[in-house]
Structure 1
Amino acid sequence: MVHALEHLVVRHSLRLPVPTGPAGDGTAAARRFDAALMTAGFKLSAELIERLSGLAGPTVVETAVRTLATVRGLLGDHVRHNVHFVDFPANVPDTLDFWMACVAEAIEDGAVGTGALDRLRAGVLDLLTLPSYGRYRHTYEEMLAAHDELIAAAGDRLTVLHLGGDAEAEVSGLYLALAGSTTPLGEEHLRDLAVLAEHCADGPQPGTITVRENRAVVNRARLRVAAAPLLDTVTDVLRLACALAEGDVTLREPTRFRALSRPYRRALLTGLDAVVAASPAKLADVSAHAETWKRLGERLHPHEYPHLPHAAEVFAVARGERKVPSVDSRVEELLVRGDVTGAAELLASAAPGRLFRALDRLLRGAAEGKEQDAVLAAAERAAPEVSGRVVLSVREHVQNRAGGSPERRVFVNREGKAWVTADTRAPLGDAVRERLVEMLDAETRRRLPDPGHLLIDPEVLGVALPLSGRAATAGFGVLPRGSVSPVEGELLRFFTYWREAGRTTDHDLSALVLDENHATVTWLSYTALTDVEGKHSGDITSAPDGASEFIDLRLGAVRGTFIVPQVHVFSGEGFDEAAECFFGFMLRESAQAGRPFEPRTVRMKSDLRGPGRVALPLAFRRDDEGRWHAHWLHLYLRGTPSANRVEEHRVSIAVLLRGLLGRTPLTVRHLVALMRESGTPVTLWDGRALPDAPVTYIGLERPDGLAPGSRVLTPENLRDLLPA
């Protein structure tokens, strides 16, 4: 069973649990394992090679097979990436020449009917009616034969795979880290937690589970081993019911409840009764999900449990038979009466987190002087009861309110869906902002643990704090939304892959180039295969067995300041419907050659699983000194139901990009500065010798050779840096 979970440990931590098996001489097999990993840009640590060398050869081979499959899946190398033009990026034709060649071939073969010819004479061309358009015209093996081997370069990525601990301990540690996360998890991590929770239900548990979605997943596993669920709000019970029905524990999407066994019904109603009996005021939360409660009541049959009267009250509130005003409605009543101070006091006592989220509104509505002071005083009293994630989120919000309000305001919801609207908010006064910043920093500083000696990779300082689980998607080399990272290389190559689940599906890869004022310079897409900047690999219009598209850009030739890669749903299944869908980028030197997809040049691969029909994974910006940087977005635009193209969305994307890049995210640099102010010794690592004593290392990757007992924080577990 533990072997079945080994891939989760590798994927989340880049550590391989201690392999077990008969002793022997596995030196040769370990070297072959290492060589195979290096073709994918990975390498075994010296400690891991030593461990494997002491095992029998067959054991090493079995370990290698499992690990290589996991690593290749991380990079997107588990599928075959073909291209429309067999020797891409060489010999990509001009767009119009290519289209005319497809037309000529169709006419010559008699594949164009009379109606299509009439439309052609009228100047209308439907590319999808041309037999040679949008389909691979060669096999994967023929494509490989058209390309030379990749030449090794000093800039190729090399990621070290480290030796972990005992397999059971590694699995348990990963479970505790995910379950006890202080930030909501993304969809993939939540699914991984569900698998781990089933395995670890009888083992050690986190001291606290603050994220409610995590708690629902853990509670389902606890019920299945007859352990009491962890419930302290009525919504905890509702989330658990959704988990048991394989529904959405975030409560964003409706869940179709199924018939529940009597033990499960009894457990849910008993938990609900206990929560309400302990705090009747929590009935106020029912109205927020009244319809869902009513549908759940049809499955739970609370009337069969007369000895649980408090549980029955929940359904009475949901049906409107009993009125229990929510905290939000009471706050709105106070604000309508102009009692801002009363609203702040109510939130401070009943919902401290909501008070912090409403601070901007309350301070704008309060009169200057005593009323604003009262709101700030209420926030200062409530601060110790607010989660660290919310404290930091408000801190980020406040620092972006400096200098008044911008003309446009960008919103990004939990699913990564983004939109822009006019900003009509009144500015916050400088004195108010300064007092807020001082209070928020003091509260964060108070909560930060003593990390001992901090060793920092300077490149991690620009990484945004993962304040939301949807701030980044699952994949490899992915950083949270708002992060900035350097990009070094001559060639930048984007790739996307999709595989349809049931309907013919066409996803299109495009790249938009903008100048310093966000005006369009050019773009590369299926409608513009070549330009000064680079080339497009060609349009593929269906993917029953999977399909790939690539864009090759010469960074030195780019005429603009911004490069915005994007994936459009032209037809068929959306990103959250396709069987598989991901995006990534590679960096190469011009003389390296190689296949269109070379795993050891992959710098990032992220899943595309959001709403909308246009995906914006990240953007690239050239600074005043000519150096390129990646700005991580992880956004989705609504788009249109079909025929999405870069031409139609370039203006809205430019507006969105201007607003997003005008914001200043809260980064690792902020927390490191607070720890330094508290007296923590901080060393910026130059990449050379490592300290002999244990340290807390924060970087993009774990270096090989850290002293035993060191704590390591990389993007895979950066959420652990946030104070509780």
Structure 2
Amino acid sequence: MGHSLESLVIRHTHRLPFPAGLAGADGDGGVAARQFDAALMSVGCKLSADLLERLSGLSDGVVVDIAVRTLRTVREMTGDHVQHNVYFIDFPANVPDTFAFWMQCIVEALTEDTSRARTVSQLRSGVVDLLTLPSYGNYRHTYAEMLAAHDELIAAAGDRMTVLHLGGPLDDEVTALYLALAGSSTPLGADDLADLRVLAGHCVHGPQPEAIPIRENRALINQARLGVGADLLVDTVTDVLRLACALSEGDVTLQEPTRFRALSRPVRRALLAALDGLVATAPAKLADVQAHREPFKRLGERLHPHEYPRWPHAAAVFAVARGERQARSFDSRVEELLGMHDITGAVELLRSAPGKLFRALDRLLRMALTEEERGAVVAAAEQVAPRVSGRVVLSVREHLHNRPEETGERRVFVNRLGRAWVAPDDRPPVLPEGRKRLISALDAEISRRLPAPGRLLIDPDVLDVALPLSGKAAASGLGVLPRGSVSPVDGELLRFFVYWKQAERTTDYDLSALMLDADYSTLSWLSYTALTEVEGEHSGDITEAPAGASEFINLRMGAVRGTFIVPQVNVFSGEGFEDVEESFFGFMLRDAAQQGRPFEPRTVRLKSELRGPGRVALPLAFWRGSDGRWRAKWLHLHLKGSPKANRVEGNQVSVATLLRGIVERDYLTVRYLVDLMADGATTVTPWDGRSLPEGPVTYIGLERPEGLHPDSRILTPENLRDLIPA
């Protein structure tokens, strides 16, 4: 368990917990520490000066043990923990023309007794199935043979170098990470929730966050508290439902149905007692059952409330779920007033639920017909704003800024799981006077909540990173930024990679790259159906992955036509992204003279887990600006696709439409908050990568510099959510 906790700390914070009080650990470990540092640099990481010095004071054996564990974690972070082979052994050199390659596979099939008759029959019909050709889709050489065919990578100044910093004792680091995740003011992604579950169990007896604003986090913490008999942190009946989902390893976000497991008698008693206490104290909380009637009915079948007559208020919860008892919900009262077009009445009712009022602002402003009604809506929003969570205020601010004043445009929808679709935007306009007044009020409210930053030190490359208003807007991984973020891309060669390992069924993923013009029209693509183009090469189609498989696309940035490059991963057949044993996507940047293997971890800029609904993944796009420089635009989208045979040729229009919606939307970025913070800052200094100010600063950047004052507040993508005011 200690090693897995250490791995969590390294992944989330890039800090290596430093062992304290090791018996016999003192020694001269300088040689081992330098070897450790060299091994880390081969995968794109290095030890900070402080960490290298502290490790050098340990014994060789202790340093080696730490190195083995840390290298395992770092290799997983970059995707170097698996073997990345390629179909064409010399890739990106000597990739054949697509048609010539297919003809070669047919000729080889005709020379084999087992496949000759089938291939001849297909040729007579005029259609040949590539998947039936013995030499198609499977590696024709070993991983070792592939490595031997490539020269060693030449180090370059532009190679990624992630610094591992000196951490404190493991228990202190774990506690700090737990408090940061548990007390997050924005929802966490699925992988972070899984990590929080582990941390909550370990830290249940230790310090707890002052507040747990995100209900999903509370469910996992309650699961840990239930296990040790501690009081549950619940204030709605839905909190109990989420806890039941956690106990069944279901979806605590309540977006997907959970199959409740049989629960032990002590657990059933605890859940029923919690429900009974909530409803006894505030009977109006029964109204919350309406929003999740079906899950509550299924939960009732597991809890058997009829066996516990001493908790009649808990039984009332399930009576409402079954429709045997009425409990009018808050939302139904609002809908009744809106149905009568009583905007003023609805606004007055919504004042008691500030978050609901903010989420309904667009609708209320659309429905308001008179200046008096519009004024009432805006005035109510201004009044309740201090009681609305920071992420909701920021989300509404972003929404209002992007709200079109004319109808007829197309609207991009993205749900919490990253599933995207497009529909016409036929909403009536919101008058600009109300929008501008609200935007000014929200800016003032956010500014009021931001802490005085003291001296601000800003990495300019972080300014266009989108605010992480939800961890569900991004996959987990190395170098991942929230949806809508823009980051610079500098390099001569851009290389995408995808890796997958099937769990039970034969599974074929296809990596493709679509090149689009400035008007989002298709210019060309690289895929298994187009192995070579002016822009670059595809590494070859792999059609099954029982031991894991990789595909690559190599692009020469100077040769790319058009304005956009959109990599995508298509599920051609088999298991989806949620079902495979493992899958991830990433990209590397290289200089043309570096050579090296198809996969070189020190050149990896992004390694992102592939998890989500749909059969087509769109992790990010690359966009050439008017200055000629390339930038990455982060998408984190999934298309539904078809059950099988998804190909880049079939989703060009959908991809182009979604890309336009993301590219042309103005996301709230770090720049927005920095501009607000600047008014209260002592100084604002751009970080030039060299000189550091003396004394503590508030540093915001993509990477933490070495040598910052220990009392500095440091905000990087790993903890950027802390920038969101509560």
TM-score between the two structures when normalised by the length of structure 2: 0.98
Question: Between Structure 1 and Structure 2, how many residues are aligned?
Answer: 723
Which among 534, 537, 549 is matched to residue 535 of structure 1? 537
Larger displacement relative to structure 2 (80-89 or 370-379): 370-379
2:368 to 349, 366, 369: 366
The corresponding residue for 2:102 is: 99
Aligned pair partner of 2:527 in 525, 536, 539: 525
Aligned mates of 2:622, 2:261 — CA distance in 1: 47
Instruction: Output one character per residue of 1:406-425: Cα deviation in whole Å (capped at 9) or x when no partner.
Output: 61000000000000000111
User: Which residue number in structure 2 is paired with residue 62 of structure 1?
Assistant: 65
Note the residue ranges of structure 1 that are not aligned, 5 or more in a row: none
Identity of aligned residues (%): 70
CA–CA separation in structure 1 for the residues paired with 2:409 and 2:668: 22
AA of the residue aligned to 2:27: G
CA-to-aligned-CA distance 1:382-413 (integer Å, 9 cap, x gap)? 21221111000000101101543561000000
CA distance in 1, matches of 2:441, 2:235: 29
Q: Deviations over 1:355-395 (max 9, x none)?
A: 11110011010023110000111112221221111000000
Contact 1:614–1:639 (CA under 8 A) maintained in structure 2: yes
Structure 2 distance, partners of 1:497, 1:460, is 29
Of 43, 46, 69, which aligns to 1:43? 46
Give the Cα–Cα distance (whole angstroms) in 2 for the partners of residues 678 and 337 of structure 1: 46
Q: Is the 8 A contact 2:453 2:680 kept in 1?
A: no
In structure 2, the partner of 1:89 is 92
Q: Secondary structure at the match of 1:716?
A: coil
Distance in 1 of aligned mates of 2:397 and 2:359: 11
1:344 to 347, 360, 371: 347
Q: CA-to-partner distance for each residue in 1:34-92, whole Å, 9 max, x for gaps?
A: 00000001010000001001101100000000000000000000000000000100000
Per the TM alignment, residue 18 of structure 1 is displaced from its structure 2 partner at its CA by 1.1
- The corresponding residue for 1:207 is 210
Instruction: Identify which of 270, 273, 277 aligns with 1:274.
Output: 277
Tell me if 1:579 matches 2:581.
yes
Q: Match of 1:17?
A: 17
1:127 aligns with 2:130: yes
Q: Are residues 1:140 and 2:161 paired?
A: no
Please give the residue correspondences for 1:25-424 in structure 2 after superposition, counting only pairs within 5 Å: 25-349=28-352, 351-401=353-403, 403-405=405-407, 407-424=409-426
Question: Contact 1:618–1:632 (CA<8 Å) still a contact in 2?
Answer: yes
Q: Specify the code of the residue in structure 2 equivalent to 1:339.
A: D
Amino acid at match of 1:11: R
Match of 1:481 in 2: 483
Q: Distance in 2 between matches of 1:718 and 1:592?
A: 33
1:114 Cα offset (Å)? 3.4
Cα deviation for residue 323 of structure 1 reads 1.1
Alpha-carbon distance between aligned partners in 1 of 2:517 and 2:227, rounded to the nearest angstrom: 57
Which stretch has the larger CA shift, 247-256 or 665-674? 247-256
- 1:546 and 2:548 are equivalent in the alignment: yes
Shift of 1:306: 2.1
CA–CA separation in structure 2 for the residues paired with 1:98 and 1:199: 55
8 Å contact kept, 1:561–1:621: yes
**Offset at residue 332 of structure 1 (A):** 1.3
The answer on whether the counterparts of 1:402 and 1:430 sit within 8 Å (CA) in structure 2 is no
Alignment pair present for 1:714 and 2:709: no
Cα distance in 2 between the residues matched to 1:209 and 1:680? 32
Contact preservation (8 Å) 1:287, 1:326? yes
- What residue is the counterpart of 2:643 in the other structure? 641
Where 2:447 maps in the other structure, the secondary structure is helix
Contact 1:240 1:249 (C-alpha < 8 Å) held by counterparts: yes
Q: Give the gaps of 5 or more residues in structure 2.
A: none
The 3-state SS of whatever aligns with 2:355 is helix
Q: Deviations over 1:608-650 (max 9, x none)?
A: 0100000000000001121000000000000000000000001
Query: Quick one: which amino acid aligns to residue 56 of structure 1?
Result: S
Q: Answer yes or no: is the 8 Å Cα contact 1:404–1:427 preserved in 2.
A: yes
Mapped contact 1:111–1:131 kept (Cα < 8 A): no
Q: 1:696 aligns with which of 689, 695, 698?
A: 698
- What is the letter of the counterpart of residue 13 of structure 1? T
Shift of 1:277: 2.0
Cα distance in structure 1, aligned partners of 2:7 and 2:534: 43
Farther-moved stretch of structure 1 (337-346 vs 582-591) = 337-346
**Contact 1:40–1:599, Cα closer than 8 Å, also in 2:** yes
Map Cα deviations across residues 95-137 of structure 1 (whole Å, 9 max, x no partner).
0000000000110223434353232133211000100000000
| CA RMSD, 1 decimal | 1.1
| Displacement after TM superposition at 1:488 (Å) | 0.1
The answer to which of 304-313 and 197-206 deviates more is 304-313
2:110 touches 2:119 (CA, 8 Å); kept in 1? no
Find the counterpart in structure 1 of residue 4 from structure 2. Answer: 4
Q: Which moved more, 1:352-361 or 1:212-221?
A: 352-361
Q: Which runs of 4+ in 1 moved over 4 A?
A: none
* SS in structure 2 of the partner of residue 193 of structure 1: helix
Partner SS, residue 617 of structure 1: strand
